Amino acid sequence: MIGRTDVNSVTNWNAPLVWEGTFDPVVIDDIYRRMNPRVAVVVLAVGKYTRFLKGFLESGEKYFLVGLRVTYYIFTDNEQDVPNVTLSEGRKITILPVPSAKRWQDVVLSKMKWATVTIDKQIRNEADYLFMMDIDSVFYNRFGAESLSRMSAVLHRAFYKRDQFPYERRPESKAYIPAGEGDYYYTAAVWGGYLEDMYRLVKYCYEQSEEDAKNNIEAVWQEESHLNKYFLYNKPAKVLSPEYLWSDYETPGSDIKLIRISQLVKDYAEVRPNGGQ
């Protein structure tokens, strides 16, 4: 029996909302292994963040889109620190050198810039789907082809049971969402979709933050704020439950039957170039 009665498994615009128990992994895997798509994963590992690569890649090989073709595109300012991880057949790593940044906020936003440039130049010819992912995470369970769609967004674990969201509320920012508007709040740490749709959205986040910078404003949660504005008015084709990005800081409730990927506990002050702010 496939289905859940304790959670919504469809959004009010009729997109699937994916939870453990709402799909048959055997059927899904069979469909996608026949289609054999090429999936790009873009991660940024600059400064001390290269220490997260090993855990991310090794666990990714165990749980992320197993049996499909995956290329991890690693943007880094420190190539020597990229670990040598054994990958399964059909999977590879491409290292892309980027300059260092002084503030973690700039690190986050530069990810949109490098991704825009590199998708345009290179990835577009090498992939059908693209995921943007934060590197400071580890896979714990299957993160499979049920996550794929034209545009898939993950509900932020801290807000999926709330109706107050941390959108950008200052009209001066391009990410502005008026009070009273909004339905879901999505994380920017995991999102994915068709290559061309992702390209448009990554570029949108980059350009909107550049506009903000010209006007001396930075959206409250950087590219996450721009992403949420976009998704409010251009609905994602599929919504993924917070199983698709949890945090090791928090114990899940009974609706989370399994955690597929989780953000690691880290010392922000130690790991970020400009400390914890």
Q: Is 267 annotated as a binding residue?
A: no
Between 137 and 187, CB nearer to ligand GAL: 187
Q: Is 211 annotated as a binding residue?
A: no
- Strand partners for 97: 76
CA angle 277–108–111, rounded 5-degree value = 170
Q: Which amino acid belongs to residue 241?
A: S
Closest to 123 measured CA to CA, from 194, 73, 82, 75: 73
By beta-carbon distance, which residue lies closest to ligand GAL? 166
Tell me how far apart the alpha carbons of residues 73 and 57 are, in angstroms, rounded to a whole number: 11
Q: What's the closest the beta carbon of residue 271 comes to ligand GAL, in angstroms?
A: 13
Q: Is the dihedral of CA 152, 204, 202, 100 positive or negative?
A: negative
**Quick check: 259 and 251 in contact, CB under 8 A?**
no
For the chain, give percent helix, strand, coil, nearest 5: 35, 20, 45
Between 31 and 269, CB nearer to ligand GAL: 269
Q: Is 156 annotated as a binding residue?
A: yes
Between 28 and 158, CB nearer to ligand GAL: 158
Q: Is 81 annotated as a binding residue?
A: no
Between 156 and 226, CB nearer to ligand GAL: 156
User: How is residue 106 written in tokens?
Assistant: 């700039």
Tell me how far apart the alpha carbons of residues 36 and 29 are, in angstroms, rounded to a whole number: 10
**Quick check: 149 and 193 in contact, CB under 8 A?**
yes
Q: What's the closest the beta carbon of residue 169 comes to ligand GAL, in angstroms?
A: 13
Q: Is 226 annotated as a binding residue?
A: no
Applying CB under 6 A, the residues found at the interface with ligand GAL are 156, 158, 166, 187, 221, 224
Q: Which of 224, 243, 250, 270 is catalytic?
A: 224
Q: What's the closest the beta carbon of residue 202 comes to ligand GAL, in angstroms?
A: 17
Closest to 17 measured CA to CA, from 236, 164, 183: 236
Q: Is 135 annotated as a binding residue?
A: yes
**Quick check: 180 and 99 in contact, CB under 8 A?**
no
Q: What's the closest the beta carbon of residue 155 comes to ligand GAL, in angstroms?
A: 11
**Is 181 assigned a catalytic role?**
no
Q: What's the closest the beta carbon of residue 158 comes to ligand GAL, in angstroms?
A: 5
Between 7 and 158, CB nearer to ligand GAL: 158
**Which residues are CB-contacts of 9 (< 8 A; sequence separation ≥ 6)?**
3, 16, 17, 18, 19, 22
Residues flagged as binding site for UDP-N-acetyl-alpha-D-galactosamine: 49, 134-136
Active site residues: 224
Residues flagged as binding site for Mn(2+): 134, 136
